[in-house]
Amino acid sequence: MNIEIVTDLKTTLGEGPVWDVEQQRLYWIDSLDGRIFRGTQDGHEIRAWDVGSKIGSMALCRNGEQAVVALQSGLHLLDFKSGDLQLIVHPESDKPANRLNDGKVDRQGRFVVGSMDTMEDDASGRLYRLDPDLKLHVLDDNIVCSNGPCWSPDGRTFYFCDTWSGEIWAYDYDTETGAVSNRRTFAKVDTSSGGAADGATVDAEGCLWQALVYGGKLIRYAPDGRVDRVIDMPVKKVTSVAFGGPDMDVLFVTSMAKPPLPRFPGDGQLRGALFAIKGLGIRGIAEQRFAH
Instruction: Determine the pLDDT at residue 268.
Output: 81
- Tell whether 120 is in a known binding site: no
Q: What's the gap between Cα 34 and its chain centre?
A: 15
- Tell whether 101 is in a known binding site: yes
Map out the domains of the chain as residue ranges: 2-278
Q: What is the largest CA-CA distance in the chain?
A: 47
Residue 124 confidence (pLDDT) above 80: yes
Instruction: Determine the pLDDT at residue 81.
Output: 96
Q: Please give the average per-residue pLDDT across 86-111, as a whole number.
A: 97
Residue 259 confidence (pLDDT) above 90: no
Domain 2-278 -> CATH class: mainly beta
pTM: 0.97
Q: Please give the average per-residue pLDDT across 73-86, as a whole number.
A: 97
Residue 260 confidence (pLDDT) above 80: no
- Tell whether 99 is in a known binding site: yes
C-beta of residue 284 within 8 angstroms of C-beta of residue 252: no
Q: How far apart are CA 169 and CA 207, in angstroms?
A: 14
Beta bridge partners of 49: 36
- For every residue of the chain, DSSP letters joined together read -EEEEEE----TTEEEEEEETTTTEEEEEETTTTEEEEE-TTS-S-EEEE-SS-EEEEEEBTTSSEEEEEETTEEEEEETTT--EEEEE-TTTT-TTEEEEEEEE-TTS-EEEEEEETTS----EEEEEE-TTS-EEEEEEEESBEEEEEE-TTS-EEEEEEGGGSEEEEEEE-TTT--EEEEEEEEE---TTS-EEEEEEEBTTS-EEEEEETTTEEEEE-TTS-EEEEEE-SSS-EEEEEEESTTS-EEEEEE-SS-SSTTS----TTTT-EEEEE-----B-PPPPB--
Instruction: Determine the pLDDT at residue 142.
Output: 96
Residue 266 confidence (pLDDT) above 90: no
- Tell whether 98 is in a known binding site: no
- Tell whether 228 is in a known binding site: no
Instruction: Determine the pLDDT at residue 194.
Output: 83
pLDDT tens by residue, 80-95: 999 999 999 999 999 9
198 as an active site residue: the answer is yes
Find the Cα–Cα–Cα–Cα dihedral 162, 144, 275, 55, rounded to 10°.
130
Residue type, 70: A
Instruction: Determine the pLDDT at residue 21.
Output: 97
Selecting among 106, 117, 198, 249, the annotated active-site residue is 198
